[in-house]
Structure 1
Amino acid sequence: MYRPQWPKIDFSVISHLFRWLLLAVPVALAAGSFVAFFLWSLDHVTLLRYRYSWLLFLLPLAGVAIYFLYKWAGKNAEAGNNLIMDEIHEPGGGVPLRMAPLVLITTLLTHVTGGSAGREGTAVQIGGSLAGLAGRWFKLNREDTRILLMMGMAAGFGAVFGTPLTGAVFALEVLFIGRMNYRALLPCLMASLLADITCSAWGITHTHYAITFRDTVQPVLRFLPFNWWLLLKVVMAGACFGLTSYFFAELSHAIKRYSNRKIAYKWLIPVVGGIIIIVLCFLLGSTDYLGLGVTGARPDSITIVSCFRAGGADTFSWYWKLLFTAITLGMGFKGGEVTPLFFMGAALGNTLAVFTHAPVDLMAGLGFIAVFAGATNTPLACTLMGVELFGGEYILYYAVACFTAYYFSGQSGIYLSQRLQSSKTGEPLAGGVKSLRDLRK
């Protein structure tokens, strides 16, 4: 007679999850609260800049202040996200706690005076520095410290955008192109989700983006709606998004490299960068490409939100945001790259929709996530971001756009500490595992 066997309970798994949950709670609470304060402060300094337009003329002075703050107190903290990634790959001196207040203050200085920068870099550095502190407090070994730093990255990313699933996968995918550490998957998800809940509990709300387009063509697959003609347009747009990612990453690195070579006095680098930004604003007759780009000083400003409707962006809005951001970050100002990448992608998607007669809001949404995917080499995380931000109805288009952009961005990226062992087409690299920094050398 057959007697069914009851499954055995693996208490080691339960113990493992409970341990990481206990570690996730303090990191997520601290990171979520710190990010909430940062987002609240960022909203206020942005409104201050809208109210007092003369603050733009203080941008070169703010650059000098940022330079000396890092020179006197920053030490290795100036490496930012790359320092956290290097510590995960090859633990060394650790991630200093001073990184969190320094990057918060200098990012706010950049934004209040009109620098074109984002916020994810700040949030990730906050999460990473707090996780580094927790690792030292709890006296964790190297492997556990690596996972804790990944949790800090996930917590910062998930809280700043309100996308906890994306935050968890991003922290895993961004480290090594083509490989993920699944042992850290659930710890990162717990940290990202708890940080997002904490940030929301402080009353922080995130910008809502909507794709209202509804396809009237009979879908090919009942369970996964799409039509071939629109899918072909998405493939072509994905290639354009990837090339834009490549152009931005390479231009940012080139500006940083040549400004350090050609300008002898390093404190003058942000001064020159600030002056160039001011001159560009006067030449264009617009300040729409300053700051985050999520909102604008006027109702008719070109913003990320406006790019989701017809006529909401000019033909070359994507290029101007790319140039402003590459100059700002390449010449020493602080902040993230991701929100400006959202702007570039949404504006380019708006332009491509006009030329291809595709739905404007769909193409803007695809550009929003795909340019980010190409610049950070994280197509899976960006596909999930599309679902979290816009809904899951067009997940096939999200995936096609993000993975196409990933391949067309080449062996490039905004994070030079990313590792890879083979090319994106599977060809092994001479010498084994290398960082993007090594490849550039």
Structure 2
Amino acid sequence: MTTIDKYKALFLTLIKWILLGSIIGLVVGTTTAFLLNTNDLLGSYREKNFWLIAFLPFGGILIGYLYMYHGKESGNHSSEGNNLVIEGVRGKARVLKRLGPLVYIGTFITILFGGSTGREGAAIQMGGSVAQTFNQFFKIGTIDKKILLMSGISSGFGAAFGTPITGTIFGMEMAAIGKVKSEAFIPCLVSSFVGHYVTVKIWGIKHEKFLIDSVPSLSISSFSKVLLLAVIFSFISVLYCQLRHGIQRESERILRKNHIFRAFIGGLIIAILTYFIGNQDYNGRGLHMLEESFNQDVPHFAFLGKLIFTAITLGMGFVGGEAIPLFYIGATLGNSLTDYFHLPLSFMAALGLIATFCAGANTPISAFTLALEMFQGKGLEFFFVACVTSYIFSGHHSLWPSQTIHEPKSRLYSLAKGETISQIEKQKNE
């Protein structure tokens, strides 16, 4: 191949990824705007009508039915959610085209009746669903299929949170611990930025703003506190992951993977807990409490309430995202620890939000860029240290058991490359 032919092939490949990334960003940005607007409407309606919580078990029956009878193919359940998308990136499973619509319906039901969930899961899975549709329509090759799925992930995340830089990196970093799949950079970049601007500029979505009033001065004392806090946040993230997956594993074993019955019981538990508490602080996305954690005191054990509600909701078969619940858990825990560490309240909430998400997602680069985009670059030295620390101390636990170990976080772990988080967990339990 001559030099001219090489440049021609490079140019054509570049054009192909820009076009495909743009189309995916346009579609996913539009569907994400619909997701965000609908979630807001349903959440507001439920907050004004407390009695809707009583119908959560019946919403669980509907979700269980949809996934049992319309969400499986060749033994794979769409209820695997983000794990199925990750397995699609690894070439181990085929993402279903109907995955996106199913998860949207399931998320709407969960939020309307008071399950504790987030939104990025639905946006990412819709991105995977759109990418799979393109894969089949254009008959794209195996390697390019994986890249297109990563661009779908990027567009979903970037559009859902208004963070296009983070979305770009997240699509390349999500599938494997210790590896950023840089071959997907162009389509991930294009789809994330297009998805974000379509959501904001065309559909007028206004994302939540979390402001840091002040950051501590750079000192040994401040960095020491941030290091210790990052370890605490990583442990709370591990607790959530273990509880959430433990509930799923045991409920599937006891109820023989009857998703209808699982979700019914899960909805019943959440409804009873909600009526016992007497408010909806831990239902839905909990954005009001998340926002309050940046500017005023919140209940000291709010983080624990959200952790339990979300672990039960998602562990028992309801659907949605886990980033917003982790933001809530980390930010409210940081808020509660302010008096003990004598650091600014808004900074503590922000630190908890980022470090807890980083530990659960195992995406330190994405978590750091998320801090830069969310908080306008304030305290970047502290957030960098917190991301690295929480990533290392969380060990090999994850929101998504299908994540593979490309490189162990430390040689001390003595793990084989290529193993998944779920395989490691099984080995521990044997």
Matched with 1:245 is 237
> Could you report, residue by residue, the CA deviation over 1:126-179 in whole angstroms, capped at 9, with x for unpaired residues?
001001101111111001111000000000000000001101111111111111
Evaluate the alpha carbon distance shift between residue 82 and residue 273 of structure 1 in structure 2; reply closer, same or farther with a 3 A threshold.
Answer: same
The question of 1:181 aligning with 2:162 is answered no
**Contact kept? 1:421, 1:429, Cα under 8 Å:** no
SS of the residue corresponding to residue 267 of structure 1 reads helix
Farther-moved stretch of structure 1 (284-293 vs 52-61): 284-293
More helix by share: 2
Cα distance in 2 between the residues matched to 1:383 and 1:421: 20
Cα offset, 1:214, TM superposition: 4.6
Q: What TM-score do you get using the length of structure 2 for normalisation? A: 0.93
Cα offset, 1:427, TM superposition: 4.7
Matched with 2:383 is 398
SS of the residue corresponding to residue 116 of structure 1 reads coil
- Aligned partner (choices 215, 223, 248) of residue 231 of structure 1: 223
The question of 1:68 aligning with 2:53 is answered no
Tell me which structure has the larger Cα radius of gyration: 1
Letter in 2 for 1:418: Q
Letter in 1 for 2:149: L
Cα offset, 1:97, TM superposition: 1.3
Cα offset, 1:262, TM superposition: 2.1
What 5-or-longer segments of structure 1 have no aligned partner? 1-8, 218-225, 296-302
Cα distance in 2 between the residues matched to 1:18 and 1:423: 36
The question of 1:416 aligning with 2:401 is answered yes
Cα distance in 2 between the residues matched to 1:186 and 1:421: 22
**Contact kept? 2:215, 2:379, Cα under 8 Å:** no
Letter in 2 for 1:394: G
Cα offset, 1:95, TM superposition: 1.5
Letter in 2 for 1:305: E
Same amino acid, percent of matched pairs: 36
Matched with 2:82 is 81
Pairs within 5 Å for 1:417-432: 417-427=402-412, 429=414, 431-432=416-417
SS of the residue corresponding to residue 304 of structure 1 reads helix
Cα offset, 1:307, TM superposition: 0.4
Cα offset, 1:15, TM superposition: 3.2
- Aligned partner (choices 292, 307, 311) of residue 285 of structure 2: 292
Farther-moved stretch of structure 1 (425-434 vs 394-403): 425-434
The question of 1:34 aligning with 2:31 is answered yes
Cα offset, 1:278, TM superposition: 1.9
Cα offset, 1:429, TM superposition: 4.6
State the number of aligned residues: 415
Matched with 1:102 is 102
Cα offset, 1:11, TM superposition: 4.9
Cα distance in 1 between the residues matched to 2:255 and 2:112: 25
**Contact kept? 1:422, 1:429, Cα under 8 Å:** no
Cα offset, 1:263, TM superposition: 2.8
**Contact kept? 2:259, 2:317, Cα under 8 Å:** no
Q: What TM-score do you get using the length of structure 1 for normalisation? A: 0.91
Pairs within 5 Å for 1:263-342: 263-264=255-256, 265-295=258-288, 303-311=289-297, 313-342=298-327
**Contact kept? 2:24, 2:191, Cα under 8 Å:** yes
Matched with 1:345 is 330
Cα distance in 1 between the residues matched to 2:226 and 2:417: 34
Cα distance in 2 between the residues matched to 1:427 and 1:362: 32
SS of the residue corresponding to residue 305 of structure 1 reads helix
Letter in 2 for 1:232: S
Cα distance in 1 between the residues matched to 2:192 and 2:407: 29
Evaluate the alpha carbon distance shift between residue 132 and residue 429 of structure 1 in structure 2; reply closer, same or farther with a 3 A threshold.
Answer: farther
**Contact kept? 1:376, 1:415, Cα under 8 Å:** yes
> Could you report, residue by residue, the CA deviation over 1:44-64 in whole angstroms, capped at 9, with x for unpaired residues?
101110121100000000001
What 5-or-longer segments of structure 2 have no aligned partner? 1-5
Cα distance in 1 between the residues matched to 2:274 and 2:68: 29
Cα offset, 1:432, TM superposition: 3.6
Cα offset, 1:284, TM superposition: 2.5
Cα distance in 1 between the residues matched to 2:318 and 2:28: 23
Cα offset, 1:426, TM superposition: 3.0
Q: RMSD across aligned C-alpha pairs, in angstroms? A: 1.5
> Could you report, residue by residue, the CA deviation over 1:377-419 in whole angstroms, capped at 9, with x for unpaired residues?
0111011001101111311111111111111211100101100
SS of the residue corresponding to residue 308 of structure 1 reads coil
Cα offset, 1:422, TM superposition: 4.1
Matched with 2:17 is 20
